[in-house]
Amino acid sequence: MKFLIALFALLLPATAFAADITGVPKIREADYVQIGNARIRLGGIDAPQLDQLCLNTKGERWSCGAAARDELIKYAGNKTWSCNRRQVTDRRGRIVARCDVDGEDIQKWLVRNGWALAYARISRDYEPDEKAAREAKAGMWQGAFIAPWDWRVRNKKTAILGAVKPPEKARAILLASASGPVAPSPECTIKGNVNRSGACIYHRPTSRWYAKIRMNVDKGTRWFCSVDEAEAAGCRETRR
């Protein structure tokens, strides 16, 4: 009998035994939170990073990455979350999970309000919510923006999304948004640049060379919002 129970347990999907993670989160980004010691990547969606900029209906740039995080904090930052682990971790070692707040799928809320996109290559669960956000011109959909997965590897051919026709200079603005001369938000002050050997180096504000790093997208520079983010992008800290 014990053998049959053990065999049955092995045949059940691993998720049946995955303990839920519950608690009030620290919201790092719109799709990345921390509950206790558990770092959680919200599955099935992709949200703009903290230093990503978008354009509004007037063609003015705004910090959509920081806004997405802040809206999530206002909506559910002080509530208890219940997150169901999936069987995978992302490349940064974070737990991939689906999270509910007061019985509501928080990923669904993010996508439906235009603060994240359905990550269709992983899951198609949130495509109807993305369609609703696009039609309502909610969040990022009010103007013009680059899909988060494209923004991380953006180039001059990167597609621009949005509910309105982007202005003539939209592409240049969106491509250069992470490397403007001024940090896009107070949380994103770590500078990253490429040295002569082609290595990516990041500099905190206390670095000896920090003030001398000129932010220029053509030179491969960009702003980072945390050491984790800089290292996940393949950068190492300056040795001086």
Closest among 156, 87, 161, 86 to 118, alpha carbons compared? 161
Instruction: Please report, in tens digits, the pLDDT of each residue of the chain (240 residues total).
Output: 443 333 333 333 434 444 489 999 999 899 999 999 999 999 999 999 877 888 888 888 788 888 899 999 999 999 999 999 987 888 888 999 999 999 999 999 999 999 999 998 888 999 999 999 999 999 999 999 999 998 887 777 888 998 777 777 777 767 655 556 777 667 788 998 888 777 789 999 999 989 988 887 556 688 888 888 788 667 899 987
Q: Where are any strands of DSSP class E within the chain?
A: 21-23, 26-29, 32-35, 38-42, 45-46, 54-55, 61-62, 81-89, 95-101, 104-105, 117-118, 144-145, 161-162, 190-194, 200-203, 222-224, 236-237
| CA quadruple 81, 86, 92, 94: dihedral sign | positive
Q: What is the pLDDT of residue 38?
A: 93
Q: pLDDT at position 219, please?
A: 66
Strand, coil or helix: 214? coil
* C-beta of residue 223 within 8 angstroms of C-beta of residue 189: yes
Phi and psi at 145, nearest 5°, equal -165, 170
List CB contacts of 185: < 8 A, sequence separation 6 or more. 50, 51, 63, 65, 66, 225
Residues 6+ apart with CB under 8 A from 117: 45, 46, 47, 111, 130, 147, 148
Residue 95 β-bridge partners: 40, 89
Q: State residue 225's pLDDT score.
A: 80
133, 139 contact by CB (below 8 A): yes
